[in-house]
C-alpha cells in the first residue's frame, strides 16, 4: 500500500485512518456511546457486531459527523473532526458510506448516480467522471447496467451501484452499515463478494454487519459492542470462534442459532 502524505508521520510510521478516544454520544439524557476507544489503521477491515440498539450505527455515523459526539475525540485521516472549527466537508469527501437503504436517485440512471457527486464536489469533467464511474461499475459487475434506472435493478444490484457511487469519489475509508440486511437472502452473496474484493484491494473498511461468516473470513479485527461499549475485540477466530466475555457468547449463540433461547430472553 502507498502511504499518503496525511497517512505518514515524521517518523515514517503509518498514522491511523480513524482514531476514537473516549467517544461519547447522548441523545437527550440517554447515553448510547459510553466512552469508545477504537483505532483503525490503513488497509484494515474492522467489523462491528452487537445486539440491536448497542450503538453500532451511531458509532459509524460519528466517523463522518452524521452524529456529533458529545464527548471525547474522533480523528479521521489526520483531522480531528470533533474540533468545532473542522472543515467537515473536506473530510467527508474522503470517506465513503453505504447504508442499509441504498438511497439512489430514482430519476437518474445508474451512470448519473455515480457521476453527479464527482462533478459537483470534485469538479471533474463529464468525461472523467464517466470514466471513473464506469471503472467502478465494472468492479461491482454492473458496467452493462449503466444506462438503466435503479428501479429496474434488483436490491442487490442497487446496493452494488451504491458501492460504485461511493468508490467513484476515491475514498480513503469506506463505512458500511448493514449493507446486506435489507436484501433477499439470494442477493446477499453478490454484495458481500464486492466487499470482499474491495478489502483484498487494500481498502480501509469499517463494517457494521450481522454476517458472521463474512466477518470471520474478511475482517482483520472484530469488535463486539453492547450497551454503548466495546466489550471485546480481536481477531475473528478469537472473538467469533472463542469469545471470552459472557455477553459476546450470549450474542453469538443468538445470531448463530436463532432458535436458541438464552436464559432470560425467552
Ligand X SMILES: Nc1ncnc2c1ncn2[C@@H]1O[C@H](COP(=O)(O)OP(=O)(O)OP(=O)(O)O)[C@@H](O)[C@H]1O
The footprint of ligand X (CB under 6 A) covers 27, 32, 50, 52-58
Residue number with CB closer to ligand X (32 or 40): 32
Taking the C-alpha atoms of residue 147 and residue 150, their distance in angstroms, rounded to an integer, is 10
The answer to whether residues 218 and 47 touch, using CB atoms and an 8 Å cutoff, is yes
Q: 126-139 and 110-121 are packed helices; what angle lies between their axes, rounded to 10 degrees? A: 130
**φ, ψ for residue 50 (rounded to 5)?**
155, 165
Residue number with CB closer to ligand X (50 or 179): 50
**Which of Mg ion, ligand X, none lies near 27, with the C-beta cut-off 5 to 8 A by kind?**
ligand X
Paired residues of 194 in beta bridges = none
- Closest approach of ligand X to the CB of residue 2, in Å: 33
**Which of ligand X, Mg ion, none lies near 55, with the C-beta cut-off 5 to 8 A by kind?**
ligand X
In terms of DSSP H, where are the helices of 168-233? 185-200, 212-218
Taking the C-alpha atoms of residue 246 and residue 110, their distance in angstroms, rounded to an integer, is 46
- Closest approach of ligand X to the CB of residue 249, in Å: 18
Give just the sign of the alpha carbon dihedral 100, 53, 83, 46. Answer: negative
Residue number with CB closer to ligand X (124 or 224): 224
- Closest approach of ligand X to the CB of residue 229, in Å: 12
Q: Which of residues 53-92 bind Mg ion (CB under 5 A)?
A: 57
- Closest approach of ligand X to the CB of residue 24, in Å: 12
Residue number with CB closer to Mg ion (51 or 155): 51
Footprint on this chain of Mg ion (rule: CB under 5 A): 57
Amino acid at each position: 500500500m502507498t502511504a499518503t502524505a496525511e497517512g505518514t508521520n515524521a517518523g515514517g510510521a503509518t498514522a491511523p485512518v480513524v482514531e476514537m478516544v473516549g467517544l461519547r454520544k447522548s441523545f437527550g439524557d440517554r447515553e448510547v456511546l459510553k466512552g469508545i476507544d477504537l483505532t483503525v489503521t490503513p488497509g484494515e477491515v474492522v467489523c462491528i457486531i452487537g445486539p440491536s440498539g448497542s450503538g453500532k450505527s451511531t458509532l459509524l455515523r460519528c466517523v463522518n459527523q452524521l452524529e456529533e459526539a458529545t464527548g471525547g475525540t474522533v480523528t479521521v485521516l489526520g483531522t480531528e473532526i470533533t474540533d468545532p472549527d473542522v472543515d467537515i466537508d473536506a473530510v467527508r469527501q474522503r470517506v465513503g458510506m453505504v447504508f442499509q437503504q441504498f438511497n439512489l436517485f430514482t430519476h437518474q440512471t445508474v451512470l448519473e448516480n455515480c457521476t453527479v457527486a464527482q462533478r459537483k464536489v470534485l469538479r471533474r469533467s463529464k468525461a472523467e467522471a464517466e470514466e471513473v464511474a464506469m471503472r467502478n461499475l465494472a468492479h461491482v459487475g454492473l458496467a452493462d447496467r449503466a444506462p438503466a434506472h435503479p428501479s429496474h435493478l434488483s436490491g442487490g444490484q442497487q446496493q452494488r451501484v451504491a458501492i460504485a457511487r461511493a468508490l467513484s469519489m476515491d475514498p480513503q475509508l469506506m463505512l458500511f452499515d448493514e449493507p446486506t440486511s435489507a436484501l433477499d437472502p439470494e442477493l446477499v452473496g453478490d454484495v458481500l463478494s464486492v466487499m470482499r474484493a474491495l478489502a483484498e484491494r487494500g481498502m480501509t473498511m469499517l463494517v457494521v454487519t450481522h454476517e458472521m461468516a463474512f466477518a470471520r473470513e474478511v475482517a482483520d479485527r472484530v469488535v463486539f459492542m453492547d450497551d454503548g461499549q466495546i466489550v471485546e475485540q480481536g481477531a475473528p477466530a478469537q472473538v467469533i470462534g472463542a469469545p471470552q466475555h459472557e455477553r459476546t457468547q450470549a450474542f453469538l449463540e443468538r445470531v448463530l442459532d436463532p432458535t436458541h433461547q438464552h436464559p432470560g430472553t425467552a
